[in-house]
């Protein structure tokens, strides 16, 4: 009798695991939403290499409206940033305004085997003028020893043969996406 009640539990767990596996097949944010005008800790998860080849570099382009970016160094990886002018000036609080900052982050020279998972982290401020419900995309290139994944596809960007709706789930290599939420009230 016990084996009959245990079997549905095992099948349910197996089904849940199967349903979660595609989520680690892409570069994604640990927290995929943030309030406009707030600080944000971006944690990009890398769940696999390139067809068995280990990941050796990650490069992330920072989109407009994501400012005051500070990447976190990773032991064993070389950290580089590209800086540039913002299209406009942003007020990031405490009387501080920024007109330029980090526009790209790259971690390189490491070795993340196919069988392992790792995270690449940065902090930033979400511009107060980003609209709730807006999707902000972070094109990311994952370089491996023998191949490359370009996680740069964005819905509505005109990718031939791909759906133009949704959040990129039906794209082959969708860019990591951050959903903007309504600003939180300050007390």
Provide the token pair at 181.
Answer: 């939420």
Rg value, the chain, Cα: 19
Percent of the chain at pLDDT exceeding 90:
70
Instruction: Decide if 168 is inside a domain.
Output: no
Structural domains of the chain, count: 1
Instruction: Decide if 46 is inside a domain.
Output: yes
Instruction: Decide if 13 is inside a domain.
Output: no
- Whether the CA torsion 136, 103, 171, 165 is positive or negative: it is positive
Instruction: Decide if 186 is inside a domain.
Output: no
CA–CA dist 26, 152 (Å, integer): 11
Would you place residue 171 in the very low, low, confident or very high pLDDT band (cuts 50, 70, 90)? low
What is the domain extent for residue 126?
23-159
Residue 86 has pLDDT above 80, yes or no: yes
Residue 26 has what pLDDT?
81
CA–CA dist 180, 160 (Å, integer): 27
The greatest distance separating any two alpha carbons of the chain, rounded to the nearest whole angstrom, comes to 69
From 24-33, 77-86, 95-104, the region with the lowest mean pLDDT: 24-33
The answer to whether 125 touches 93, Cβ cutoff 8 Å, is: yes
Residue 94 has pLDDT above 90, yes or no: no
Instruction: Decide if 79 is inside a domain.
Output: yes
Interacting residues of 91 by C-beta distance below 8 A, sequence separation 6+: 97, 128
Instruction: Decide if 146 is inside a domain.
Output: yes
Please give the torsion angle defined by the CA atoms of residues 14, 19, 23 and 26, in that order, rounded to the nearest 10 degrees.
Answer: 90
Instruction: Decide if 178 is inside a domain.
Output: no
- Whether the CA torsion 156, 81, 180, 143 is positive or negative: it is positive
CATH number at residue 54: 2.60.40.2230
* Span 4-18, pLDDT tens digits: 454 444 344 444 333
Instruction: Decide if 183 is inside a domain.
Output: no
Name residue 116's beta-bridge partners.
none
From 25-29, 131-135, 168-172, 177-181, the region with the lowest mean pLDDT: 168-172
CA–CA dist 33, 178 (Å, integer): 5
From 1-15, 86-100, 142-156, the region with the lowest mean pLDDT: 1-15
Provide the token pair at 32.
Answer: 């995929």
Q: Which of 120, 129, 119, 132 shows the shortest CA–CA distance to 34?
A: 132
Q: By CB neighbour count within 10 A (0-12 exposed, 13-18 middle, 19+ buried), where does 114 fall?
A: middle
């Amino acid at each position: 009798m016990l084996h009959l009640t245990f079997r549905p539990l095992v099948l349910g767990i197996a089904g849940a695991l199967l349903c979660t596996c595609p989520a680690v097949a892409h570069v994604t944010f640990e927290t995929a939403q943030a309030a406009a005008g707030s600080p944000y800790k971006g944690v990009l998860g890398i769940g696999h290499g390139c067809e068995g080849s280990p990941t050796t570099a990650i490069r992330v382009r920072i989109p407009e409206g994501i400012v005051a970016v500070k990447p976190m160094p990773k032991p064993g990886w070389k950290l580089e940033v590209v800086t540039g002018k913002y299209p406009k000036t942003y007020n990031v609080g405490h009387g501080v305004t920024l007109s330029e900052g980090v526009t790209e982050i790259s971690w390189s020279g490491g070795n993340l085997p196919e069988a392992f998972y790792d995270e690449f982290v940065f902090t930033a401020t979400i511009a107060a003028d980003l609209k709730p419900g807006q999707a902000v995309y972070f094109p990311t290139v994952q370089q491996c020893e023998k191949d490359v994944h370009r996680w740069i596809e964005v819905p509505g960007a005109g990718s031939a043969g791909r759906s133009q709706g949704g959040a990129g789930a039906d794209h082959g290599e969708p860019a990591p996406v951050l959903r903007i939420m309504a600003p939180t009230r300050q007390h």
